[in-house]
């Protein structure tokens, strides 16, 4: 991938993040993820095939949104 292609790819990702944060703040998205995740965990009638992988994904997403929030960027 050329530097120009990489720049365009990076810019597209940044634009997607900007669009997402115009829809909802990082704090709101984080809270929604936490609510969804803990509602699933406490539900007795559901089970994900890869609970550990889902937990890791949610953990890293929550930390990502916490970091953005702590930077006061949005």
Q: How far is CA 2 from CA 9, 10, 16, 26, 29, in A?
A: 11, 12, 21, 32, 34
pLDDT recorded at residue 73: 62
pLDDT recorded at residue 12: 93
20 assigned to some structural domain: no
Give the range of the structural domain holding residue 60, as residue numbers without chain letter. 25-74
pLDDT recorded at residue 3: 83
pLDDT 10s digits, 4-42: 878 888 999 999 999 998 999 999 999 999 998 888 777
As for how many domains the chain has, the answer is: 1
Averaged pLDDT for residues 37-54: 73
13 assigned to some structural domain: no
């Amino acid at each position: 991938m050329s530097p120009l292609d990489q720049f365009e790819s990076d810019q597209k990702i940044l634009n997607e993040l900007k669009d997402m944060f115009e829809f909802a703040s990082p704090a709101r998205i984080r809270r929604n993820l936490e609510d969804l995740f803990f509602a699933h965990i406490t539900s007795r009638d559901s089970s994900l095939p890869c609970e550990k992988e889902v937990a890791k994904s949610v953990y890293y997403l929550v930390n990502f949104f916490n970091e953005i929030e702590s930077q006061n960027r949005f």
